Amino acid sequence: MKHTNLCTAAVVLLAFAAYAVGASAASSGSDREALEQTGTAIRAAFMAGDLATAMKYHHPDISKALSYNKVLVGRDAVAADLRSTLLQYRLDFVENRVESLLIENDIAVEETLFTIKATPMARGNPFIQGPHHGRLPAL
């Protein structure tokens, strides 16, 4: 009798574990897809010079380090800097490769290697910026 109960418990436990792993993978898959769509949308906004749409993807309390000596704090500071950039250059993402993605509950952290081609709005030749590593915390 004890052997039967133990076997039944083991089968139930394995079935539950398989369900939990499957549900987690499905959730991660849909989370990955949502993050991919968000990344595509924000890159399209940058390339179209659409400041309003690009800023929809920035948290009001953002801190954005553009270099070791240039850190922008707050959505307004990021918008002002991006506005200046978009008035001077057309931006094209030449490369955007996700190197790692961690999804844990309602938080995702993506590390991406990206390269941007900047074309001056006035005279001048296009130039390549990158590759750069970026980390994107998404809530």
Owning domain of residue 8: 2-138
pLDDT exceeds cutoff 90 at 92: yes
Partner residues linked to 133 by β-bridges: 113
Helix or strand (DSSP H, E) at 119: strand 107-120
Cis peptide before 120 (omega within 30 of 0): no
User: pTM for this one?
Assistant: 0.70
Q: Over the stretch 46-78, which tens digit does the pLDDT of each residue have?
A: 999 999 999 998 989 988 888 889 999 999 999
Q: What is the mean pLDDT of residues 76-86?
A: 96
Q: Which amino acid is at 112?
A: T
The total domain count for the chain is: 1
Percent of the chain with pLDDT over 90: 40
Pair 60, 74: CB distance under 8 Å: yes
Nearest to 136 by CA among 90, 93, 103: 103
Helix (H, G, I), strand (E, B) or coil at 21: helix
Residue 24: CATH number of its domain = 3.10.450.50
